[in-house]
Amino acid sequence: MNISIDVKDIDSQVRVSVKGEIDAYTAPKLRETIFPLSEKENVNMVIDLTEVAYMDSTGLGVFVGLFKSIRSHDGEFRLVGLSERLRRLFEITGLADIIDIKSDTEGGLE
C-alpha cells in the first residue's frame, strides 16, 4: 500500500494532492506531511482526494485532527475530488456536516 502526497503553497492557499490508499499503514505519512502546515495562522488548505481509491477510519482521524488544528488557527479547510464512496464515508460518520466537502474540484485545485 502506497501513498503519494504533493504539497504546493500557492499564493495564500496550501494545495495538497493525495494519491493511493489512506489506511493504518499510510495515514502516519499523511499526518506527518500535512499536519505541520495546519498550525500556520489563517491557512487556507485544500486537499484533493481525486486519486484516493480507499480510506479507512484511520484516514478519517487524520482529517478530523487536521480540521480541528486549522480551525483553531483561524484557517479554512476543504476536501475536494471525493469519489462517491469516500463522500458516503464522510456522510455516514457525520463529518460531511462539519467539513467542507466537494465531489469535484470546484473551488479548490485549478
In a domain, 44, yes or no: yes
- Residue 98 is predicted with a pLDDT of 94
Q: If you search the block for the grid coordinates 486549522, which residue do you land on?
A: 70
Which pTM value belongs to this model?
Answer: 0.90
- Under the banding of pLDDT at 50, 70 and 90, the label for residue 105 is low
- Under the banding of pLDDT at 50, 70 and 90, the label for residue 104 is confident
Domains identified in the chain, total number: 1
- Residue 78 is predicted with a pLDDT of 96
CA distances from 37 to 10, 54, 57, 89, 93 (A): 13, 24, 22, 25, 25
In a domain, 11, yes or no: yes
Containing structural domain, residue 41:
3-101
- Under the banding of pLDDT at 50, 70 and 90, the label for residue 110 is very low
Please name which of 82, 50, 42, 22 lies closest in space to residue 33, comparing C-alpha atoms. Answer: 22
In a domain, 38, yes or no: yes
In a domain, 85, yes or no: yes
In this model, does residue 109 exceed pLDDT 80?
no
> Which residues are CB-contacts of 95 (< 8 A; sequence separation ≥ 6)?
60, 63, 64
* Grid cell digits, residue 109: 485545485
**Could you tell me the CATH number of the domain that includes residue 27?**
3.30.750.24
Contact (Cβ atoms closer than 8 angstroms) between residue 93 and residue 70: no
What is d(CA 11, CA 18) in angstroms, rounded to the nearest whole number? 20
